[in-house]
Structure 1
């Protein structure tokens, strides 16, 4: 019988010390989103910043030694951590879609569910690539030794948000507007590429974590 659901629950339980940050980040995303064309990229990028929380808590509380005594494989530990972070990313991204719809009503603007979901796919694709880069370092080196990757991820997040908001022409509101015009094909293609990259990243993390001396 798979113990993966139990590990998911344990991962969520260990994140409780960061509950305040989990509230503040979406609030910050909500406030910043009012100044942009869409809430979705901001909310997703805020979610990416939670990626290192599980590693930080596990290392500070020496939870990896606890995991080694439980009937849970290291593969399940890795998969559960990826799944929890991606769940947070998707959850906040969907919240951004809802905020887009509400903001459109408040601003008396047209809102397209297809365009908003295309923004979501593009944003999750970028977030997935950031996570795919981060996590193998964290599993191999630990949070403290790989802390530089957190700063790298933060720089990538800022650059990604700036790119999504960057005007593509003098009369354009940004790349987000272009995504809305070209339809969902390319964002979905990017999402599939990101998912493939995440799968490879997870397999690499599993191999590295199996070799790690806990």
Structure 2
């Protein structure tokens, strides 16, 4: 194949098909991150790359092309899950019967995120510099969403108005500690009682 043939029949990088290609690439990367997250639930953050590739239906090389190191993959999965949780808040508020219902459903998703990141907490406390900003990202993305849900429920008269979003999230997080190592403990039940207790008498 000569140089004149190599680009024949294909649109220029910024041609009409470029936005579609970028959208496909984002969708493929999201699917890969979902597969990695699912593998982490089963095997922790040390899940074999070949298992993640098999879940995603791609070759191992594709994962390394996107994420050259395991730390890169862990960071990307964490940020992807935080983003999904953040984006769920406004969607639940729009789709739920009441703001309190939306808050409860969002807290359930938050608990799922906390309870299924096997090994991630230990990784985040390692010496890898790539993890340094993740806690701040978590706070910056999720606290405002929780605050929005709390405010909507308070304005609707469903809950008391003096509940702090960070304080609530910290309490929920504390209820999730150790859940992955004790099959007899389901934090969702206690968190559900906590959310129910936010209601006005």
Whether TM-score is above 0.5 comes out as no
- Structure ranking higher in helix proportion: 1
Which structure's CA Rg is the greater one? 2
TM-score by length of 1: 0.39
